[in-house]
Amino acid sequence: MSTLIDILLLSLMGITALAAVRMKSLFGAVMLTGIFSLLSALWFLILDAVDVSFTEAAVGAGISTVLMLGTLSLTKSEEKTSNHSQIIPLFVVFVTGGVLIYGTLDMPDFADPLAPIHTHVAPHYIEKSGAEIGVPNIVTSVLASYRGFDTLGEVTVIFTAGVGVLLLLGIGRRREDGDE
Amino acid sequence: MTHHFILRVITKLLIPLILLFALYVQFHGDFGPGGGFQAGVIIAAALVLYALVFGLNTASAVIKEWVLLVLIPLGVLIYAGVGVASLLLGGNYLDYNVLAHDPVHGQHLGILLVELGVGMTVAAVLTTIFFAFAGRGHRDANGNLLPHSALSDEIRNRKDGQP
Amino acid sequence: MMFFVTVIALFPAMFLALGRAIVGPTLYDRVLAVNSFGTFTVLMIAVLGFMTDQTDFVDIALTYALINFIGTIAVLKFFVVGDFGYEEQRDQ
Amino acid sequence: MPPLSAIVKPTTTNHQGILTISTGPTSDNRWLHAISLALTMAVIWFLLSGHTEPLILGLGAASILSITWLALRMDLIDREGHPIHLTFRAPMFWVWLGWEIVKSNLQVMKIILYPKLPISPRMFRVPVSQKTDIGRVLYANSITLTPGTISLRVNEHDIEVHALTQAGEDGLKDGKMDRLVTNVEGEQ
Amino acid sequence: MIAHLPALQIVLPLIAAPLCVLLRTTRLVWLLAFAVTVASFGIAVELYSQVLQYGVISYAMGGWAPPIGIEYRVDQFNALMLILITAVATVVLLFARTSVAKEVDQRRQPLFWAAWLLCFTGLLGIVITGDAFNVFVFLEVSSLSTYALIACARDRRAITSAYQYLIMGTIGATFILIGIGLLYMLTGTLNMADLAARLPGVTESRTLKTAFVFIVVGCSLKLALFPLHLWMPNAYAYAPSAVTAFIAATATKVAIYVMLRFFFTIFGADFSFGAMPLGQVLMVLSVIAMFSGSLVAIYEQNVKRMLAYSSVAQIGYITLGISLATTTGLAAGMLHLFNHAMIKAALFMAMGAVVYRLGSCRLDQMAGLAKQMPWTMAAFVAGGLSLIGVPLTTGFVSKWYLVNAAFDAGWTIIPVAILGSSLLAVIYIWKVVETAYMRLPPADQKPVQEAPLALLIPLWIMVAANFFFGIQGNLLWQSVLQAARQLSGEI
Amino acid sequence: MINFLSWVLLLSGCFCVLISAIGLIRMPDLFTRMHAAGVGDTLGAILVIAGLMLQAGPTLLLAKLVLIMFFLLFTGPTACHALAKAALAGGEKPLLDDNNQ
Amino acid sequence: MNWVTHYNYWIVILLMMLGFYTIIARGNLVKKIIGLNIFQTSVFVLFISMGKIPGGVAPILRDDPTTIYSNPLPHVLILTAIVVGVATTALGLALVVRINEAYGTIEEDEIHEQDRFF
């Protein structure tokens, strides 16, 4: 029964992405990207990824959209038509997509409980985290403890982004002298 | 048109609630969905809302630049510092078991601190990034700020390209 | 079952709102459509939570209700002022 | 922590927003409002959390304190930011408003479904009798909440309204909603 | 504490970066960065000696045993890589202080050093980790900081090239992420050793082949293998000189390291070179890269850009060695990886010294420069000789072993290609030498002084390293050969 | 009984939402569309959430649902109002009935 | 192999390729970032699809011991990847702002045009 929801959601996502890609108005495209990440948040929910969905809803639909609007407000909100040849990009995209589809042919079936990822490392987290960490949310246990170092890296990434943006733009209060 | 008090009143009403919800998310990441990152994003969203409605100057008077610049590294330092603490207490890096007498307690304490660091850095970084974008203003190639009146009509009165 | 029906029934509305967001014609129409779409999504998230018996989803619905508002305000600021930082002086 | 008076500057000119925003009323009793805000937040925190371990409660208390402090600093706390005084008179109004919402919703739905789309959009102004901003906000938002009428521009004296039909216009112009909101707002 | 060295290797610079933001004084920040870099170098050397003594070191982050938690794993190859990165970073950092003070806006410098340290952390993290996903995380740390570092230059083209690099780099990283995801899907684990143990069961899977292709393409984007190198020349040419020297010597090398790690440790040589036509494809691309890079370099007027194109060619040598699919070939490729890092660091530092005085490194402005900056140009010539592969320089050693390996593997055409490409290198290096030594300076140009000692000393340290390892050719070769044997599973 | 009631509420809520979306498509201009969108934002949301509340029973979940409703009811009209105002400021002219003026 | 179960993967690949196409084919710098976002989000969807188990619930421990949980590891990885994505987006947009200041345009062609004569 959730197959129907799957298909409906995925087709919504497809339409949104297609429209976002085709749209000349950058503003419209940004809005549609917001919708797209919102839909993917819904899709994550259906796949039981509550935390991911939470993050995607907050980041994709919130912060990313605001930042993109901030950029558009400083630049231009209309895309120009380019007269590039589209053949090479199309070729690259088709080859990449083809390789990926070739790869899906031997993938474990969608939601197959016997797939390797459900039998190898993950059971440890599910079975032992209650006793070892004592935190109900397994995602938090894995994120902060079992793979805590990844999360340290993640914080470092966001810190890097902060440093980078500060390096590029300077902070906050507008200064009348440029900070080139 | 001089008063946009609806937005102001509603924002005043909402911001404490949003912040409260964010901190709830921060501290209940153990039990349900959420955690430091999500909380940080929501806090940043609340501050962005404040800056949008009350103006960037007001916002950066409330949340000073130096505060943000302290919070950003502090979060990372808290996270990395928990790891160093566990090193000093004789465990491996980021081994929270040694932080308290009882491993489960240690884990709990470690996760709490670590998530706090994450939330701090994320909230501060995202707010800073927004301030940086909003405070940038329109500049010419030499980096000089253009006054609002010098902006092209295209920017001042945005119209959609679609018919 | 009842939640499932509700979820499915919400989809046509989402399709229509998406259509409005794609078609426009003005920017404001898009914003309106996105805003409505957001509301529908909040409802759908809440219903999905009940459908799969995972009521933690309500937290996400709450988050999204907040984020949606902030996004809309950002868009409006973007329209009216054209810049997030400039103080508004135009309207007297 | 420096004294609050040093942190919280009276912001008379700083409130600028999406369109220029006037300053709110200077608060009559900031501390009282802060305490009641904190109490309200405590209730909400408990409703959200439901955990009674000392750790979580302590964190909750810390959160509430820091938010209250930040809210003071942001100058959010005054009669408008935390309109606790409205709640006592409000319930009857909410019930009435709920009924209005249902009625007007049904009307608008009927219009949408009607094949010929019998709309006659119009703009007009209705006078405002509330004395405070928060009262006007309540009125304007109530107008918007009932589909069929949207408040467009609001000032001290009147609200510009966009209505979908003649009926919507008439319903507003009889002034009942205005009176009720003023009633809720109470004397200043 | 000795047992925790693998963690400290990363954690020291990682903690220093936020401290830099807190300190906010350029002098202090630089001192901190330098202290940390030197300490990292010490740790890397100690780690290498431990690896030689006790074999592979495994360190469980958070105390969780490997497939459950994240593992740090140091073997001979990555211990050597750690030494390379930290050593280059130390020398370049000495150089960078003066160079950056001139090329980067004063107010940005504290943050600049923070970003530098982050880049350093990221590179070290990629090399030391034994977890596939952790590679991606640290790859992004280093990439994001590199984009910011490149954009710090005053030239506006630096910003566009940083953007271009960002787009290409992110595509590359996302490809690697897809590849890792597919691997995870097939095996259920992210730990490299565990992956290696579990992959042989699924070698027939088409998904595995797809994963392989994506990882190869992703890494190739990052390491600027021939058709995917388009981001590199601009990024190198317009970045601040010190940044160019640093990333040219380390970032691409680390990408090669990642590729080798995936080829040999995870997929295994049998799969990479047996089941997939990697050797052939890589060889063709390498040879094309060697020639096209060198040819373009000949016509380049901006010397930094010229050197960047030369890097494309030199990376061709490295991948050529790998594509031979023999242990000696691999070792020769790896040796060239190390040598090329030294050569390019020296050359880009020489150019940095030129930019410091001239403000530019275009050929037409460098006419007659050798009289005014004799030491700098001499260093350039020395580096150039090493690049060409003249005996007694390290460039010669690696090409020698490369040719030998090619003969051993039965390819007689390869040595010819190597020779031909080296001749092209002679041409472009000669162009610079001729301009600097034989032409007269343009009449309207103000005479410039020799670069300050703060620039010359690190520059000559690097040049000296080139000659030292050229003369003591066997020293590095033996270590690299051991590492290659370990990597390909012979010992 | 409660189940039946929440069926009714949920379905009528969906119906409202659907009508609102149809209105979003059918209405001729921005301002009239806002009215249509209002249907989904108010009654639709109220009904659906009320239906869920009945299912939740007197738990903390109920409080969260109330909070969601509260947010929607406060932010919806505000956003709508701000949008209308921005549109007017941006030069959008509402389509008006001729015999009105 | 069952085509219904792979339908999900194919749609996701389609989405990925739409994003990828936008990155490499469009000349507008903001549009490229939008494409990057779509591309990365689709990759996340692919990852999360792996973790699903039929009848599973979100990996938050419950008292009932018979509960089946979905695989938490992909969720953790994607959380990190989302953060990386937003960091990249922010940095990319900051670069776009600077490019616009320096060149007065955010179209790739026009930028190349301006740089040609250096």
Residue indicated by tokens 């994240």: E70
Q: Which amino acid is at E12?
A: L
If you average pLDDT over every residue of chain C, what do you get?
A: 81
pLDDT at C87 over 70: no
Whether chains D and G touch (3+ CB pairs under 8 A) is answered by no
Q: Which residue has the higher pLDDT, A146 or D91?
A: A146
Interface check for B9 against chain D (CB to CB < 8 A): the answer is yes
> What are D151's strand-pairing partners?
D161
Least Cα distance to F40 among F68, F72, F64, F84 occurs for F72
Residue E373, classed as helix, strand or coil, is: coil
List of chain C residues whose C-beta atoms are within 8 Å of the C-beta of residue A31: 21, 30-31, 34, 75
| Ramachandran bin of E24, using left for φ above 0, alpha for ψ from -120 to 50, beta for the remaining angles | left
Contact B52, C74 (CB under 8 A): yes
Contact criterion met (CB < 8 Å) for G72 and A126:
yes
CA distance B118 to B105: 20
Residue D3's pLDDT band, with cuts at 50, 70 and 90, is very low
The architecture that CATH gives domain G7-116 is Orthogonal Bundle (1.10)
DSSP H or E segment with residue E58: strand E57-60
Residue indicated by tokens 């994506």: E214
pLDDT at A45 over 50: yes
Give how many domains chain F has, as a whole number. Answer: 1
CA distance B68 to E113: 19
List of chain G residues whose C-beta atoms are within 8 Å of the C-beta of residue E183: none
What's the confidence (pLDDT) of residue C82? 60
Give residues 20 to 79 of C whose Cβ lies within 8 Å of F: 20, 26-29, 31-33, 35-36, 39-40, 42-43, 46-47, 50, 55, 58-59, 61-62, 65-66, 68-69, 72-73, 76, 79
Per-position DSSP letters for D56-102, written without gaps between them: HHHHHHHHHHHHHHHHHHTT--STTTS-HHHHTTHHHHHHHHHHHHH
Per-position DSSP letters for D105-128, written without gaps between them: HHHHHHHHHSTT-----EEEEEE-
Residues C16-27 have a mean pLDDT of 86
CA distance C27 to C20: 11
Residue A171's pLDDT band, with cuts at 50, 70 and 90, is low
List of chain F residues whose C-beta atoms are within 8 Å of the C-beta of residue C72: 79, 82-83
How is residue E437 written in tokens?
A: 């030594």
Residue E131, classed as helix, strand or coil, is: strand
Q: Which residue has the higher pLDDT, D5 or E251?
A: E251
ipTM of the complex: 0.91
What's the confidence (pLDDT) of residue D186? 66
Distance between alpha carbon E447 and the CA centroid of its chain, in Å?
Answer: 35
CA distances from A49 to A141, E233, G48, G52 (A): 15, 42, 7, 9
Residue of C57, C64, C81 for testing the chain A interface, max A β-carbons within 10 Å: C64
Residue E301, classed as helix, strand or coil, is: coil
What's the confidence (pLDDT) of residue A8? 87
Interface check for C53 against chain G (CB to CB < 8 A): the answer is yes
Contact E393, E336 (CB under 8 A): no
Residue G28, classed as helix, strand or coil, is: strand
Residues of G contacting chain C (CB within 8 angstroms): 57-58, 60
Q: Is residue B163 part of a domain?
A: no
Query: Alpha helix (H) ranges present in chain F?
Result: 2-26, 30-39, 45-56, 60-89
By Cβ distance, the residue of F33, F48, F78 closest to C47 is F48
CA distance E78 to E483: 8
* Tens digit of each residue's pLDDT (9 = 90 or more) over C39-74: 898 888 888 888 888 778 888 888 888 888 888 888
Contact A136, G59 (CB under 8 A): no
Contact criterion met (CB < 8 Å) for B143 and A134:
no
- Rounded to two decimals, the pTM is 0.91
Chains that touch G (3 or more CB pairs under 8 A): A, B, C, E
How is residue E438 written in tokens?
A: 């034989």
DSSP H or E segment with residue A26: helix A26-46
Give residues 16 to 35 of E whose Cβ lies within 8 Å of B: 17-19, 21-22, 24
Contact criterion met (CB < 8 Å) for C53 and G60:
no
pLDDT at D25 over 50: no
CA distance E13 to E44: 13
Give residues 33 to 72 of C whose Cβ lies within 8 Å of B: 56, 59-60, 62-63, 66-67, 69-70
Contact D158, D126 (CB under 8 A): yes
Contact F69, F61 (CB under 8 A): no
CA distance F43 to C77: 28
CA distance G46 to E178: 9
* Tens digit of each residue's pLDDT (9 = 90 or more) over A7-30: 888 889 999 999 988 888 888 888
Contact criterion met (CB < 8 Å) for G50 and E178:
no
Interface check for F53 against chain D (CB to CB < 8 A): the answer is no
By Cβ distance, the residue of B118, B128, B161 closest to A171 is B128
By Cβ distance, the residue of E4, E24, E156 closest to B93 is E4
CA of B8 vs chain E CAs: smallest distance (Å)? 35
Query: Alpha helix (H) ranges present in E24-155?
Result: 26-54, 76-103, 109-128, 132-151
List of chain E residues whose C-beta atoms are within 8 Å of the C-beta of residue A153: 125, 134, 137-138, 141
Q: In what order do the strands lie in the sheet with D149-154?
A: D122-127, D158-163, D149-154
Contact criterion met (CB < 8 Å) for C87 and D19:
no
Contacts of B160 (CB under 8 A, 6+ apart): A25, A27, A28, C24, C25, C26, C27, C30
Angle between helices E394-408 and E303-323 (to 10 degrees): 30
CA distance E265 to E415: 28
**Peptide bond just before C25 cis, omega within 30 deg:** yes
Contact criterion met (CB < 8 Å) for A55 and G79:
yes
Q: Is residue F8 part of a domain?
A: yes
pLDDT at D120 over 60: yes
CA distance D46 to D42: 6
Q: First-to-last CA distance in chain A?
A: 58
- Tens place of pLDDT per residue across chain E (491 aa): 678 888 888 999 999 999 988 888 888 899 999 999 999 999 999 999 999 888 888 888 888 888 888 889 898 898 999 999 999 999 999 998 888 888 888 888 888 999 999 999 999 999 999 899 999 999 999 999 999 999 988 888 888 999 999 999 999 999 999 999 988 888 888 888 888 888 887 877 888 888 888 999 999 988 888 888 888 888 888 889 899 999 999 998 999 999 999 888 888 888 888 878 888 888 889 999 989 989 998 888 888 889 999 999 999 999 988 888 888 888 999 999 999 999 999 999 999 988 888 888 888 888 888 888 888 889 999 999 998 888 888 888 888 898 988 888 888 888 888 888 889 999 999 988 888 888 887 777 777 788 888 888 999 999 998 889 888 888 888 888 888 888 887 76
Pick the residue from chain B with its C-alpha nearest to A171.
B132
At residue C41's C-alpha, the angle toward residues C35 and C45, to 5°, is 150
List of chain B residues whose C-beta atoms are within 8 Å of the C-beta of residue D49: 24, 27-28
Residue indicated by tokens 């440790």: E265
Interface check for B57 against chain A (CB to CB < 8 A): the answer is yes
CA of E424 vs chain A CAs: smallest distance (Å)? 30
CA distance E128 to D19: 54
Residue of E11, E24, E100, E108 for testing the chain A interface, max A β-carbons within 10 Å: E108
List of chain A residues whose C-beta atoms are within 8 Å of the C-beta of residue B69: 171
Contact G42, G22 (CB under 8 A): no
Contact criterion met (CB < 8 Å) for C19 and F25:
yes
Range of the domain at F25: 2-87
Contact C10, C44 (CB under 8 A): yes
Helices (H) and strands (E) in chain D, counts: 8, 3
What's the confidence (pLDDT) of residue B77? 93
How is residue D139 written in tokens?
A: 């009125």
Q: Is residue A47 part of a domain?
A: yes
Per-position DSSP letters for G76-108, written without gaps between them: HHHHHHHHHHHHHHHHHHHHHHHHHHHHS--BH
Give how many domains chain A has, as a whole number. Answer: 1
Q: Is residue F33 part of a domain?
A: yes
Pick the residue from chain C with its C-alpha nearest to G55.
C52
Residue G85's pLDDT band, with cuts at 50, 70 and 90, is very high
Pick the residue from chain D with its C-alpha nearest to F20.
D109
Interface check for E5 against chain G (CB to CB < 8 A): the answer is no
What's the confidence (pLDDT) of residue G5? 67
* Tens digit of each residue's pLDDT (9 = 90 or more) over G47-74: 888 878 877 788 888 877 778 888 888 8
| Range ranked top by mean pLDDT from D84-98, D125-139, E277-291, E360-374 | E277-291
CA of A16 vs chain C CAs: smallest distance (Å)? 8
Least Cα distance to F35 among B158, D122, C71 occurs for D122
Give residues 4 to 23 of E whose Cβ lies within 8 Å of A: 14, 17-18, 21
Range of the domain at B102: 5-157
pLDDT at D24 over 50: no
CA distances from D58 to B27, D14, D42, D62, E174 (A): 11, 35, 11, 6, 42
Contacts of C69 (CB under 8 A, 6+ apart): B14, B49, F71, F75, F78, F79
Contact criterion met (CB < 8 Å) for F20 and C36:
yes
Per-position DSSP letters for chain B, written without gaps between them: ----HHHHHHHHHHHHHHHHHHHHHHHTTTTSS--HHHHHHHHHHHHHHHHHHH-HHHHHHHS-HHHHHHHHHHHHHHHHHHHHHHHHTTS-TT-GGGGSSSHHHHHHHHHHHHHHHHHHHHHHHHHHHHHHHHHH--B-TTSPBPPGGGS-HHHHS---S--
Q: Is residue A5 part of a domain?
A: yes
- In 10 A of CB C28, how many CB atoms? 25
Q: Which amino acid is at A155?
A: V
- Give the CA-trace dihedral at C63, B35, G91, E235, to 10 degrees: -150
